[in-house]
């Protein structure tokens, strides 16, 4: 699945805006927004969000490596821009693996 970065950014922002409305988050959500520090995410929120993004694009993305990398650096947080960069990079990887192929031995 080929997607432009702007398209992915729009998807992610739309999703985060919808979620943020539910908990009455009144800050801006932009590329520079941090999920933990700004939006109050907990780790499981990120795990669920990652699952939701994979569902949306119907594609397996290497989130474990992404999270592991973040876990090793000083600032253990993820900005929306980083998230989008990650999705953009791996969504356009060739070959990529679609979710429906994942369960097939």
Partner 1 sequence: MTILRQPFDRAQDRAQDTARTVLIGLDGATFSVLNALMQDGVMPFLKGFMASGVRAELRSVVPALTPPAWTSLMTGRSPGQHGIFDFFRKESPQSHRIRFLTSRDVGCETIWSLVNQHNMRSTVLNFPLTFPPPPVDGYVVPGGWMPWRQLRLGCHPEGLYDRLKALPGFNPRELAMDMAHEEKALEGCKQDEYEDWIALHIRREQQWFKVLRYLMQEDPTELTAILFDGVDKLQHLCWRFLDLSYGHTVTLPWEQRVRERCLDYFRQLDGLLADIVRLAGPEATVVFASDHGFGPQVRTFFVNAWLEQHAYLAWADGKGPQPSDTQVLGMGQLARHVYLLDWERTKAYAPMPSGNGIHIVRASEQYPHGLPDAEYQSFRDRLIEELLSVTDPKSGVQVVSRVWKREEIFAGPNLELAPDLTLELQDGGLVSILSSEEAVRPRSEPSGTHRPEGILIARGPGLHQGVQLSELSILDVAPLLLYGLGLDIPEDMKGIVPAEAFEPGWLQDRPVRHGPAGRAQTSPAGTGGEIVYTEEDEIELARRLRALGYIE
Contact positions toward partner 1, by CB under 8 A?
18-19, 22-23, 40-45, 47-52, 54-55, 58, 60-64, 67-68, 70-71, 76, 98-103
Class of residue 9 by CB neighbours under 10 A (exposed 0-12, middle 13-18, buried 19+): buried
> Minimum distance between the CB of residue 58 and partner 1, rounded to whole angstroms?
7
Neighbour tally for 42: CB within 10 Å: 10
Residue in the structure block whose two tokens are 């693996």: 97
Contacts of 42 (CB under 8 A, 6+ apart): 36
Cβ 36 to partner 1 shortest distance, Å: 9
Judged by beta carbon, residue 31 or residue 45, the one nearer partner 1 is 45
Q: 41 or 84: whose CB is closer to partner 1? A: 41
């Amino acid at each position: 699945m080929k997607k432009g970065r702007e398209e992915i950014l729009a998807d992610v922002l739309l999703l985060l805006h919808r979620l943020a409305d539910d908990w009455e988050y009144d800050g801006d959500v932009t590329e520079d927004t941090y999920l933990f520090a700004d939006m109050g995410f907990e780790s499981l929120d990120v795990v669920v969000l990652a699952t939701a993004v994979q569902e949306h694009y119907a594609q397996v993305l290497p989130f474990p490596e992404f999270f592991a990398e973040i876990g090793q650096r000083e600032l253990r947080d993820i900005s929306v821009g980083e998230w989008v960069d990650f999705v953009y990079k791996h969504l356009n990887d060739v070959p990529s693996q679609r979710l429906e192929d994942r369960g097939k031995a």
